[in-house]
Amino acid sequence: MVADFKKKQKSEVSANKIVFKVAGILFIIIIAVLIVADIKIYQKKKELVAQINNYKRQIEEIQKSSQNLKAEIANSDNQDYIEKIAYEQLGEQKPGEKEVIFVTPPDKKVDQAVQLEDFWSAHYWFGWLDGPWQWLKSKI
């Protein structure tokens, strides 16, 4: 009888251990699924916040543009404003006025860089070969 009791006790203990292990594994799986879902939600939230900020910036730009257009519409009858626009955008002048353009000498470093880029470009070499090619064509 004592031997039966120990066998029953051992089988109950081993069954409890199996149930405990299965519950632990299920718990770990559930936690892993929740972590993955949380990461996906966080990424989606980041994307949506970026979209919202982009839309806010676009709204601000459109509002500024709208205000500028309203101001231009309001000033469309103003003679001074029309002259200002004619000077700035159309390059118009009053009779007797002269336009002065200031030209600065080019930067030598930039010019040298452009020459080096031109030297290695195909257009440079084809242009160089174009002279002899034209000469040959004229002889034929």
What's the pLDDT tens digit per position in 27-48?
999 999 999 999 999 999 999 9
What is the Cα–Cα distance from 72 to 66, expressed in whole angstroms?
10
111 and 95 within one domain: no
69 and 40 within one domain: yes
Statement: the pTM of the whole predicted model exceeds 0.85:
no
Residue 67 has a pLDDT of: 95
SS (H, E, C) 6-73: HHHHHHHHHHHHHHHHHHHHHHHHHHHHHHHHHHHHHHHHHHHHHHHHHHHHHHHHHHHHHHHHHHHH
The mean per-residue pLDDT over the stretch 7-25 comes to 78
76 and 50 within one domain: yes
Calculate the average pLDDT of the chain. 79
83 and 16 within one domain: yes
46 and 86 within one domain: yes
Q: Which of 40-49, 73-82, 98-107 has the highest mean pLDDT?
A: 40-49
Residue 44 has a pLDDT of: 95
Query: For 102, phi and psi rounded to 5 degrees?
Result: -95, 125
What is the Cα–Cα distance from 30 to 32, expressed in whole angstroms?
5
138 and 79 within one domain: no
- Three-state DSSP state, 102: coil
24 and 11 within one domain: yes
Tokens of 51: 């979209």
Could you list the residue range(s) of the whole structural domain that residue 12 is in? 2-99
114 and 80 within one domain: no
Residue 21 has a pLDDT of: 92
Q: How many domains does the chain have?
A: 2
The mean per-residue pLDDT over the stretch 16-33 comes to 93
81 and 47 within one domain: yes
The mean per-residue pLDDT over the stretch 59-71 comes to 94
Question: What single letter denotes the amino acid at residue 72?
Answer: E
61 and 9 within one domain: yes
Between 8 and 49, the higher pLDDT residue: 49
